[in-house]
A and B are shown apart, each in its own frame.
Chain A
Amino acid sequence: QVQLQESGPGLVKPSQTLSLTCTVSGGSISSGSYYWSWIRQPAGKGLEWIGRIYTSGSTNYNPSLKSRVTISVDTSKNQFSLKLSSVTAADTAVYYCARVRMGNFDYWGQGTLVTVSS
């Protein structure tokens, strides 16, 4: 059973960079034809896709965030990561990592709340 776990600071100051890591267990991040993705959800609101990465390093990002987002992968650690720069209060949300299988998200992490505040 594949499991994903997000980790990183729960509080980030405005204008700084949000950094999160997703650790995959129960299988190799490199096995199978899967993409790995980040999704976020502000309190009381819907889901917003941030971007995805393949284990080759190929990425795609949400155009609305593209200028501030970097997603990377470390296959040796079975992890992938998210960096979001120049954050504001609007970036406060629960951040989820998820596995992408044939266009859907079949495994999700439990989510981690990131608050942007001074």
Chain B
Amino acid sequence: SYVLTQPPSVSVAPGQTARITCGGNNIGSKSVHWYQQKPGQAPVLVVYDDSDRPSGIPERFSGSNSGNTATLTISRVEAGDEADYYCQVWDSSSDLYVVFGGGTKLTVL
């Protein structure tokens, strides 16, 4: 089945830019979605279809997807952005359908 690989952790200072990657075989041919999950809370969709933002999500959150890597970029990082981030694709070519990455813990230094 399809596998999505994320770094376990990313650290960034406030005000800097955080980049969280999501690797997968030819992931550029799929639509990638990103979720933010804070402790004790449900995940929240922050980017869908590679680079679109749901209503209410700050413009600081952006996404890109090409080749074998999708990237979630968080500009001007704030303390409140500290959370786990998950990428997800819909794999219609397999019976699994939904694949999540293992998650990345973003730490704001």
B residues apposed to A, CB below 8 Å: 31, 33, 35, 41-45, 48-49, 54, 86, 88-90, 95-103
Contacts and interface: CB of A to CB of B under 8 A. Distances in A.
A80 interface: no
A37 B43 CA distance: 14
A9 B49 CA distance: 36
B2 to A, nearest CB: 12
The binding surface of chain B is classed by DSSP as: strand
Given A46-B86, A108-B44, A103 B31 contact: yes
Contacts of B103: 46-47
A41 B100 CA distance: 11
Contacts, number: 57
B90 A103 contact: yes
Given A96-B42, A104-B88, A63 B102 contact: no
Interface residues of A, number: 19
A110 B42 CA distance: 5
Nearest to B92: A103
